[in-house]
Amino acid sequence: AQSVTQLGSHVSVSEGALVLLRCNYSSSVPPYLFWYVQYPNQGLQLLLKYTTGATLVKGINGFEAEFKKSETSFHLTKPSAHMSDAAEYFCAVSVNNYKLTFGKGTLLTVNP
């Protein structure tokens, strides 16, 4: 069975600062990895995904994530935070690309 751990339920950054949201996974087979973003009272929107190939994945809104097999990690980063990035972020893992297991989420606050 697969699992996801998101370190830090709440991360606060200043506008213009680096955003780093941490995700570690557990999987017995090579995983598919995803980051989703959720704004209040809305559904989830896909930011980026890793399936195979290049380990540095670029997504929408300037976000990127790097798959590190040796560390079983898939951390999400953005060089410069914007006020509009304030939302909840979910990391998810799948071993068969049809059933996802989600982490508990990290709420990102951006301070002016």
Partner 1 sequence: DGGITQSPKYLFRKEGQNVTLSCEQNLNHDAMYWYRQDPGQGLRLIYYSQIVNDFQKGDIAEGYSVSREKKESFPLTVTSAQKNPTAFYLCASRATNQPQHFGDGTRLSIL
Say if CB 108 and CB 88 are below 8 A apart.
Answer: yes
For 96, residues 6+ apart whose C-beta sits below 8 A from its C-beta are: none
Report how far residue 83's alpha carbon sits from residue 48's, in angstroms, rounded to the nearest whole number. Answer: 20
Stretch that binds partner 1, among 16-24, 60-68, 72-80, 92-100 (CB under 8 A): 92-100
CB count in 10 Å sphere of residue 84: 9
Between 17 and 100, CB nearer to partner 1: 100
Among 7, 17, 22, 44, binds partner 1 (CB under 8 A): 44
Q: Please report whether residue 84 would count as binding partner 1 according to CB under 8 A.
A: no
Between 18 and 46, CB nearer to partner 1: 46
Q: Please report whether residue 100 would count as binding partner 1 according to CB under 8 A.
A: yes
Write down the residue that tokens 């560390």 correspond to: 71
Which residues of this protein are in contact with partner 1, per CB under 8 A?
9, 34, 36, 41-46, 49, 90, 97-100, 102-105
